[in-house]
Amino acid sequence: MLNAANFTRNGLWQVFVTCGTADKRAFLLEAFPTLREDHIGDSRSCAFEEVVKRQTNGTGVHLALNSLADDKLQVGVSCSYSSA
């Protein structure tokens, strides 16, 4: 997943990530300086759906790479862009 975060570096993509601890959040912000802090959600809950929906004005994302399981996997799918 860290390789996917490299897309933040070109400035052409809005990238959303999740992590479970403050240390991991700090690492991501240091390793990827163009990653916006308001684009980091909590991987230990389904609250990241609200982060994505709020930041995309409800449209969702075009590409979702998800390594989460169970209900969090379904929430990741629900964050996907829908043209309907």
Q: What is the pTM of this model?
A: 0.75
Report whether 53 contacts 37 (CB < 8 A): no
The pairing of strands 40-42 and 17-19 is parallel
CATH class of 2-78: alpha beta
Closest CA to 15 of 42, 33, 36, 31: 36
On the CB side of 36, how many CA atoms lie within 13 Å of its CA? 10
What are the domain boundaries of the chain? 2-78
Each of the 84 residues of the chain gets a pLDDT tens digit; together they read: 566 667 767 767 788 888 899 999 999 999 888 888 998 988 888 888 888 888 889 888 877 777 777 888 778 778 877 644
